[in-house]
Amino acid sequence: MAENYDVVVIGSGPGGYVAAIRASQLGLKTAIVERDALGGICLNWGCIPTKALLRSAEIYETMQHLGDYGLKAEKITYDAEAVVKRSRDVAAQLSSGVTFLMKKNKIDVIEGTGRLAGKGKIAVEGKDGKSRDISAKNIILATGARARVIEGLEPDGKTVWSYREAMVPKAIPKSLIVVGSGAIGIEFASFYRAFGAEVTVVEVLDRILPAEDEDISKEAARAFKKRGIRILTGARIDKTDISAKGAKMEVRIGDKNEVLEAEKIISAVGIVGNVENLGLEEAGIRIEKTHVVVNEWLETGVKNVYAIGDLVGPPWLAHKASHEGVLAAERIAGVKNLHPLDTRRIPGCTYSTPQIASVGLTEAKAKEQGHEVNVGRFPFKANGKAIALGETGGFVKTIFDAKTGELLGAHMIGPEVTELVQGYGIAMTLETTEAELMQTVFPHPTLSEAMHEAVLDAYGRVLHT
């Protein structure tokens, strides 16, 4: 006899486990199927443990400049194994926290690999090879995504690393090539550079962090170069030779060729959805470019089957997946007055040094969409708290519709901007105009004052520059 549930979620990442919790809160009998560790890639191999690594790097790098703060210390060093262990301990703590949340919310956790096996049916193959059948009135697919592999840069766990190997190094390599300059590549470049590795970033497009506003990309490149990270943009990889001793990579930039040598390569060139072996095609679920196609309510087109998170496409962010999980669960439960998720209002963050954060449209996108814009900028070098912290690089940029005063986008690079950007996110969700933002009182002395000044600057009222 198949076990019967109101909702079964396949995948327990930040989208899946949140969907299961919300479904249970709404009185639905819920189960979650997971083939590995609860929490998915984010908690175990992504968002959280990488931030633990980056925190160690940030502290170590700050300690190299103690004299700037009137402090002294001798023989400052690091223990790579201890840095990694702390990161893994943080991941384990959070994964156990998800286990607690499943028990608290009376959600059945089914270990194994799930696949669609007919209308309202899921077949789960356990780690022991035995299969069991589950019956579900509603199914939420939350299987996430994995790193894209490009020909010639297949991770071997030795010389060519994926994010998994890059997170658990036995030692910091003396030299490193990072292929790809999105958030993942830049974060690893930042981490390894902090511990002394000679880092080269190779990007095929004409600028790093190509999804960010162009002004942010330029400032980031300048800041990373100042830290000693080499940036190669418009670079096409012609050939890569891999050996146990390291790697040689031939790149073409314009009409010039260059040979790069390094101990390790990190491949960070995007992701692909985990759509294989789920029974999607047999169920009639549409797939485009490795992602499941859904409507604004996360419905797949097959009745009572939903899909969320990285599986359904960009932006590939944990917080987006969580909100989609809540939306899918509430849609199933018949909650009234729901609104589709507006992906334009989802902040994105890169936890490098310096940090980068953004929400909404870039200046170029706003103009492409026909907006006449007012643009404001404010540098952290003119912010009192940033000066006191000794972190004065970067700026805040705001983009408003000149006719309506709507906040179209905000882009930030500098100290703790990943903690600041939610302020603009709230403003956009509340449909706040420039008038309300200018009238808002920001506390002093804080980094957030730069956000206020960037709004004022867009309308010729900036006070401190």
Asked whether 34 and 323 are in contact (CB, 8 A), the reply is no
Catalytic, out of 319, 371, 411, 444: 444
Judge contact between 380 and 392, C-beta under 8 A: yes
Cβ atoms within 10 Å, residue 435: 11
Distance of alpha carbon 88 from alpha carbon 53, whole angstroms: 9
Phi, psi dihedrals of residue 93, rounded to the nearest 5°: -60, -45
Do residues 185 and 178 make contact, with C-beta atoms less than 8 angstroms apart? Answer: yes
Angstrom distance (rounded) from CA 319 to CA 304: 23
Which residues on adjacent β-strands are paired with residue 243?
Answer: 246
Which of 411, 377, 414 minimizes the C-alpha distance to 394?
A: 414
- Strands 373-379 and 395-401, by their bridges, are antiparallel
| Side-chain-side CA neighbours of residue 435 (13 Å) | 4
CA–CA distance, 147 with 219 (Å, rounded to integer): 27
- Burial of 73 (C-beta count, 10 Å sphere; 0-12/13-18/19+): exposed
How far are the Cα atoms of 91, 99, 117, 309, 445 from residue 305, in angstroms, in the given order?
Answer: 30, 25, 12, 14, 50
Residue 444 designated active-site: yes
Cα 126 to Cα 24, 129, 143, 194, 347, distances in angstroms: 24, 5, 16, 42, 37
Q: What is the CA radius of gyration of the chain?
A: 24
Return the active site residues. 444
